Amino acid sequence: MVPKILDNVKRGFIKTFPQAFFYVYGAIRPYPKHFIVETTNICNLKCKGCNNPYLKREKRNMSIEEFKHILAQLKEIGVNHIDFDFCGEPLLNKDTLKMVKLAHDSGIKTFFSTNGTFIDQYVDDIIKSGLDEILIDLDAVESKSYLKLRVGGDFERVKNNIKLLCDKKNQMKSKKSHCRSRLSHNTLQ
Ligand code: SF4
């Protein structure tokens, strides 16, 4: 009799433990801490493999008022990290860096990836916004292979923009806007 009871308890525990774990975990941390906010779904490129050129939804920029409304809610649930990109070029919304600054001033870590075309227009603002990290998609080490992936891009301009941002950061002695770039294995063959 006793072993049977123990057996049932054991089986019941195995069945309910995962539920109990997620219940307790959910109670402690009911919302994600890391959010992505798409400030625009407009883009100047037509990169291979990207959905942007085929998007069916309306193409537009988020307004600063819309973002403030979102930010208030994200602060309420304790979000501590926002990525300001998704399926568009963040620097094609002239207010993206103002949104980054609002998030930064609220103590939220910030990041976006960019195709790098417009950095020259915003270089000071990028650093002053307090952006924690920027990923610049160069993908290749020379123009021909770059253009195979980044259709419509300008390799020299992006390359110069990476240098410009790094120089500006040094000049302004900024520890913000940690700058990363990446290469694609497709372009190294
Ligand atoms: S730059 Fe980004 S959003 Fe624009 S087409 Fe390329 S991958 Fe897509």
Which atom belonging to ligand 1 lies closest to the Cα atom of 45?
5
Q: Which pLDDT does position 17 carry in this prediction?
A: 56
Cα atoms found within 13 Å of the Cα of residue 110, Cβ hemisphere only: 27
Number of domains in the chain: 1
Model pTM score: 0.82
* Structure tokens, 108: 């939220």
CA-wise closest residue to 38 among 79, 99, 108: 99
Q: At 50, which amino acid appears?
A: C
Distance CA 45, CA 13 (A): 54
Distance CA 162, CA 30 (A): 39
pLDDT digits (tens, 9 = 90+) for 101-144: 999 999 999 999 999 999 999 999 999 999 999 999 988 889 99
At 86 the three-state DSSP class reads coil
* Structure tokens, 169: 């950061």
- Ligand 1 lined by 147 (C-beta under 6 Å): no
Q: Which pLDDT does position 173 carry in this prediction?
A: 83
Distance 168 CA to ligand 1 centre (A): 25
Ranges of residues in the chain whose predicted pLDDT is under 50? 9, 13, 188-189
- Ligand 1 lined by 127 (C-beta under 6 Å): no
Residue 179: enclosing H or E segment and its boundaries?
strand 178-183
Distance CA 142, CA 128 (A): 31
- Ligand 1 lined by 50 (C-beta under 6 Å): yes
- Ligand 1 lined by 52 (C-beta under 6 Å): yes
Residue 134's domain comprises 2-188
Here the CATH number for the domain that contains residue 180 is 3.20.20.70
- Ligand 1 lined by 88 (C-beta under 6 Å): yes
Distance 49 CA to ligand 1 centre (A): 9
